[in-house]
Amino acid sequence: MSFISKKSGKITAAALLTFLVAFAFAANVRPVSAYSPQKGDSFNYSETVTVNNGQGSYSGYSDQTTVTGMEQVDSVSGSTVSSSYKFTSQFSSSQGSSTSNTVSGAFTWSSGSFTYLNGTDDQVGYAKPTYVWFAIDPSHAVGDSFQVLNTQFTVLSKDYSLQLPTEGDKYVQTIETKGSGQYQRNDSYGVFSASFTWYEYFDPATGYIVGYSYVEQDSGQGQSGSFSYTDNLYVTSTSYPLAAASAPVSSAVAGMAPDFLYLAVVAVLVIIIVAAYAASRRRRRSTLPKHPYTPQQGPPTPSPTPWESKVDLGSKPTEQVVIRDVAKTNCKFCGTLIPTTVDRCPYCGAPRE
């Protein structure tokens, strides 16, 4: 590994709500115990280191280093793990220079503290204790902090979909972590103030490395110049199986997926409860007729003007008229009660007989 200065039979609404919320939380919580390294654990990787975006004295300059390597566990004694490593690097720059190098060796590390015990896999310049870069305790929870080399990291997600360009761009499930910091660079590049952001991704079952992305910005001290330094690493094969994952919709959505799931579940449950309550209220109301009541059609409403005699009294003096009761019968056509002395119904005009 080559590093260049890096860091009731019925379910009530309440019961349904309790069950679904508990299920949502349980689905996102996957208890994982610490993995014990085994003899034969190994991974192969591909790494690309790039220096570009030069300004000032580094204007127009760039270089690239490609690395292929492997690490494996040779033996385990308690928490002491004996491992070996080997990598080959090839360097080329915009100035036309190029070099290649192969490095191999052995070292021991602790699976309890995740620190190097005797030797390293070509890690130099770090203060002790120096923490390994290729493995963590997979039982860490979201928000937990831990160390990689001399950098503090924080667990961001226990279910992050990482795209592996070395494996046909397939996605695998990982633990996403993030570290950042500053340090003083003093090497063949010169003296620079460096600040970096480093994302590492680990297998949730074993805690071994799956990949990382390192971005550093260097600004010169005592000299005019600056450049960007990036380092990306992905495994190409592993002795531990990697769990397949679905491609995220977007990085923003992926970052908020757990919270979004809870909110979506709660929203759906609220809708279900409100609908159930409304249906219950409707069932408790008095039953209305199936159809609205419509009075049967009856005979035409009689005129409010009473039937009057057509006798013209002219200018005769007023006489007292005694009207005796006259037998009446119903009109055969409109049903109105009319005197039997008339030939036609005074209301509809139909003949009485």
Q: Give the per-residue pLDDT at 306.
A: 44
> How does pLDDT run across 291-335, given as a tens digit for each residue?
343 444 444 444 444 444 444 444 445 555 444 556 777 887 787
Instruction: Tell whether omega for the bond before 37 is within 30 degrees of 0, i.e. cis.
Output: no
Q: Give the per-residue pLDDT at 27.
A: 44
Q: Give the per-residue pLDDT at 272.
A: 79
**What's the CA angle centered on 82, arms 5 and 118, to 5 degrees?**
50
Band (pLDDT 50/70/90 cuts) for residue 59 is: very high
Percent of the chain with pLDDT over 90: 53
The rounded distance, in Å, linking the Cα atoms of 48 and 26 is: 39
The rounded distance, in Å, linking the Cα atoms of 67 and 75 is: 26
Q: Phi/psi class of residue 290: alpha, beta or left (left: φ > 0; alpha: ψ in -120 to 50)?
A: alpha
For every residue of 33-85, DSSP letters joined together read PPPPP-TT-EEEEEEEEEEEEEEETTTT--EEEEEEEEEEEEEEETTEEEEEE
